[in-house]
């Protein structure tokens, strides 16, 4: 498994420096190796300890380090990308004119890696001709500028100059690294736990929060995929092309099957109920009548249906939440369902699986491989799963469907409910 990109995160002395903490966290969650570089001005607004705790390496602040006589050269040469958030008017002026008076500006001048700057300042400063000329100079040199947004500024006034949303910044950082490895891929991702109604109030369900599926959808979109997210959860999904809300296994089945034929990749991260009540009461069942007898029947097996109708070159990813004999159950499910990858975890282990922000999985391949992903955030797990998907596509790119009539002919029949 390849290590994540090395990102130098520069933070300068503006009130928006506190938002760089969230940028740092999201970059690490997405699998990046983050080295923070804070100016002396930044340290007036945020603490060094916070970034050191969240980033991949401790904060660096000075050119005059006894342990590293040329820190700017090492940082500049070792970076895959440098991002400055926030970038003050002073930083933009220094960078545009080649003035180096601290570790961050020296690093910017000592790199050939792509650079992303995220300006943040009051509207009057943002609109000043000097600032705009400096930005124009940097753009001509190939620097990526993530323009600020409009909104409430420090001091309470409203205007343009607010630091861009962390999602925009992180997406810009990964885009600057080069063409996304899932560029143009049509992907369907499912998320959340289905609910099978007993009556208008009660249901049979599970503890799935949808966090892992949503993390996969967002990460895939950031890597260039056109993502349709079919979900039971009401979590955010920035960058996702289409979000389809469903509740039951039957609704998820219909939504998936309607879109699977044209998908290059289908990721079944949802926890679909295995059983549902044979009959659903049209009114709330009262406890005064005693415990009701609820007869169950199997729900449709969506993953198996996808495996049966999978077209040539399509990649199918399944999930298995287990509590015992994880490897045995995972390999059996991988083969039985016709999947290419099976992501398995022990949901009885601490801090893994349902409702947690962290996860620990093993990615099983149809070729017999087993890739462990140690405990990390669900965003980190998502990146490793997508690494595996990208690896499969690299070795066996799927054929594209360009003819709508051809696509219609390959649409699988609706499964019996």
Cα gap 274→255, rounded to integer Å: 17
- Check pLDDT > 60 for residue 417: no
pLDDT tens profile 116-170: 999 999 999 999 999 999 999 999 999 999 999 988 887 778 888 899 999 899 9
Q: Which CATH architecture has domain 186-409?
A: 3-Layer(aba) Sandwich (3.40)
pLDDT band at 4 (very low <50, low <70, confident <90, very high): confident
| Type and span of the H or E element at 116 | strand 115-119
- Check pLDDT > 50 for residue 53: yes
C-alpha atoms less than 13 angstroms from C-alpha of 180 in its C-beta half-sphere: 19
Task: Among 49-58, 155-164, 377-386, name the one with the lowest average pLDDT.
Answer: 155-164
Among 122, 176, 100, which residue's Cα sits nearest to residue 144?
176
pLDDT band at 331 (very low <50, low <70, confident <90, very high): very high
- Check pLDDT > 70 for residue 340: yes
Q: What is the mean pLDDT of residues 355-377?
A: 92
pLDDT band at 400 (very low <50, low <70, confident <90, very high): very low
pLDDT tens profile 239-252: 898 999 999 999 99
How buried is residue 331: exposed, middle or buried, by Cβ count under 10 Å (0-12/13-18/19+)? middle
pLDDT tens profile 402-414: 444 444 344 444 4
Question: Which residues neighbour 41 within 8 Å (Cβ) at sequence distance 6 or greater?
Answer: 12, 13, 14, 88
The residue ranges of every structural domain in the chain are: 6-176, 186-409
- Tell me the percentage of the chain whose pLDDT exceeds 70: 94
Cα gap 369→372, rounded to integer Å: 10
| CATH of segment(s) 6-176 | 3.40.50.1950
Residue 338: predicted pLDDT: 96
pLDDT top residue among 238 and 231: 231
Residue 180: predicted pLDDT: 80
Among 9, 56, 58, 60, which residue's Cα sits nearest to residue 31?
56
Residue 66: predicted pLDDT: 63
pLDDT band at 64 (very low <50, low <70, confident <90, very high): confident
Task: Among 174-178, 186-190, 272-276, 360-364, name the one with the lowest average pLDDT.
Answer: 174-178
Residue 411: predicted pLDDT: 44
- Check pLDDT > 90 for residue 376: no
Among 218, 156, 222, 141, which residue's Cα sits nearest to residue 183?
222
The answer to whether 196 touches 273, Cβ cutoff 8 Å, is yes
pLDDT band at 416 (very low <50, low <70, confident <90, very high): very low
Question: How does 298-310 read in b/e, with b if 16+ C-beta sit within 10 Å?
Answer: ebbbbbbbbbebb
Cα gap 183→128, rounded to integer Å: 38
- Check pLDDT > 60 for residue 378: yes
Dihedral angle computed from the Cα positions of residues 211, 216, 221 and 225, in that order, rounded to the nearest 10 degrees = -150
- Rg (the chain; Cα; Å): 25
Q: Is 332 helix (H, G, I), strand (E, B) or coil?
A: helix
Q: What is the mean pLDDT of the chain?
A: 90
Cα gap 224→227, rounded to integer Å: 9
Residue 412: predicted pLDDT: 47
Residue 414: predicted pLDDT: 43
Q: What is the mean pLDDT of residues 69-98?
A: 95
Residue 367: predicted pLDDT: 94
Which residues are catalytic, by number?
206
Cα gap 104→147, rounded to integer Å: 20
- Tell me the percentage of the chain whose pLDDT exceeds 90: 76
pLDDT tens profile 169-201: 998 998 898 778 898 999 999 999 999 999 999
Sign of CA pseudo-dihedral 103, 106, 108, 110? negative
The answer to whether 204 touches 284, Cβ cutoff 8 Å, is no
Among 138, 132, 225, 139, which residue's Cα sits nearest to residue 174?
225
Q: Which residue matches tokens 């560029």?
A: 183
β pairing state of 158-162 and 149-152: antiparallel
């Amino acid at each position: 498994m390849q290590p994540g990109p090395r990102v130098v995160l520069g933070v300068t002395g503006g009130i928006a420096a506190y938002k760089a903490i969230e940028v740092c966290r999201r970059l690490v969650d997405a699998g990046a190796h983050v080295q923070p570089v804070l100016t002396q001005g930044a340290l007036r607004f945020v603490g060094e300890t916070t970034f050191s705790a969240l980033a991949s390496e401790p904060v660096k602040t000075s050119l005059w380090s006894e342990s590293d006589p040329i820190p700017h050269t090492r940082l500049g040469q070792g970076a895959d990308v440098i991002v400055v958030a926030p970038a003050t008017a002073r930083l933009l002026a220094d960078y545009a004119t080649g003035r180096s008076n601290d570790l961050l500006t020296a690093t910017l001048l000592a790199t050939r890696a792509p650079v992303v700057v995220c300006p943040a300042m009051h509207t009057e400063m943002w609109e000043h001709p000097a600032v705009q000329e400096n930005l124009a100079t940097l753009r001509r040199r190939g620097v990526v500028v993530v323009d600020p947004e409009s909104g409430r500024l420090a001091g309470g006034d409203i205007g343009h100059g607010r630091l861009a949303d962390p999602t925009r910044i992180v997406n810009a950082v990964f885009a600057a690294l080069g063409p996304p490895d899932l560029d143009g891929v049509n992907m369907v991702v499912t998320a959340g736990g289905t609910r099978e109604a007993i009556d208008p109030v009660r249901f049979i369900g599970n503890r799935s929060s949808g966090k892992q599926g949503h993390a996969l959808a967002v990460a895939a979109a950031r890597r260039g995929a056109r993502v349709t997210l079919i979900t039971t959860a009401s979590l955010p999904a920035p960058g996702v092309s289409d979000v389809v809300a469903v509740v039951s296994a039957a609704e998820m089945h219909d939504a998936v099957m309607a879109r699977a034929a044209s998908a290059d990749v289908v990721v079944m991260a949802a926890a679909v109920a295995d059983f549902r009540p044979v009959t659903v009461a049209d009114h709330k069942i009262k406890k005064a009548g005693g415990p009701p007898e609820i007869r169950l029947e199997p729900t449709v097996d969506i993953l198996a249906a996808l495996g049966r109708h999978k077209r040539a070159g399509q990649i199918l990813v399944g999930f298995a939440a287990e509590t015992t004999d994880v490897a045995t159950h995972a390999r059996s499910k991988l083969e039985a369902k016709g999947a290419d990858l099976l992501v398995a975890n022990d949901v009885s282990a601490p801090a893994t699986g349902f409702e947690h922000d962290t996860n620990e999985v093993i990615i099983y391949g149809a070729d017999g491989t087993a890739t462990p992903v140690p405990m990390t955030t669900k965003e980190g797990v998502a990146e490793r799963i997508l690494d595996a998907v990208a690896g499969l596509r690299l070795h066996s790119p799927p054929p594209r469907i360009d003819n709508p009539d051809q696509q219609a002919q390959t649409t699988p029949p609706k499964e019996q409910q």
